[in-house]
Copies of this chain bind each other. A is one copy, B any other.
Amino acid sequence: MASKAIPEPISRLIDAFSSLPGVGPKSAARLTYFLLRAPDHVALGLADALKALKAETILCSNCFNIATTDPCSICADTNRDQRTIAVVEEPLDVIALERTGEYRGLYHVLHGVISPVNGIGPDDLKIRELITRVERGTALEVIMATNPGMEGDATANYIRAELAGKGVKVTTLARGLPIGGDIEYADSVTLSRALRGRSEF
């Protein structure tokens, strides 16, 4: 998009937007020209929110979710079930589980998965902290809620082995056909799992 026709403040914002995942140069230009025409407070509000993002957030020292207080509002909520910990890869997964309205336990955010290809080992994640938390805490069940797939499964297996003999039940989210999905288009791995996990009707 570099061109003499584009003033520097505009090309700078286009470049900044383009560096975000899933934003191509055309969307970046469209966003920029939208902001140019929008009232000032739209661009400035976004700028302020960006500055506040890191300045005003911390990691909860118990569950490692992103929070504004330590412990976070979930860990501090005594109405939640302190005996259950759902282990997830990312803070976004916490939001997805909260959105179901079904889960009343606590969380533990790993901040990634074990991935030898990317040079990420168990010590780069919050796994040691999970083991310590289970050893010292009140948890009776640890739900492995890592993403279904090779790396998520490998990470879950590793953690299950580490938790063996610590007096907690380790469970995993059910695998099967997604609701609204189509058997015709289901991949064979999912379909095999759905077959093996079939239940009485």
Chain A positions within 8 Å of B, measured between CB atoms, are: 1, 3-10, 12-13, 15-17, 19-23, 27, 29-36, 40, 42-57, 65-68, 72-74, 90-92, 94-95, 98-99
Q: How far is the CA of A8 from the CA of B52 in the complex (A)?
A: 10
B7 touching A68, Cβ below 8 Å: yes
Q: How far is the CA of A20 from the CA of B98 in the complex (A)?
A: 25
In terms of DSSP, what is the predominant structure of the interface of chain A?
helix
What is the count of identical protomers in the complex? 2
B3 touching A99, Cβ below 8 Å: yes
A50 touching B44, Cβ below 8 Å: yes
Kindly report which residue of chain B lies nearest to residue A46, judged by CB atoms: B16
Q: Which residues of B contact A98 (CB under 8 A)?
A: 3-5
Q: Which residues of B contact A50 (CB under 8 A)?
A: 13, 16, 35, 43-44, 46-47, 50
Kindly report which residue of chain B lies nearest to residue A52, judged by CB atoms: B9
Name the 10 nearest CB pairs between A and B, nearest first.
A47-B50, A5-B98, A13-B49, A9-B56, A47-B47, A16-B46, A16-B49, A7-B68, A9-B52, A43-B50
Q: How far is the CB of A176 from chain B (nearest CB, A)?
A: 23
Q: How far is the CA of A48 from the CA of B6 in the complex (A)?
A: 18
Q: Known contacts A8-B68, A43-B51, A47-B50; is A90 also within 8 Å of B33 by CB?
A: yes
A31's partner among B20, B30, B55 (CB-CB below 8 A) is B20
Q: How far is the CB of A197 from chain B (nearest CB, A)?
A: 28
Q: How far is the CB of A39 from chain B (nearest CB, A)?
A: 10
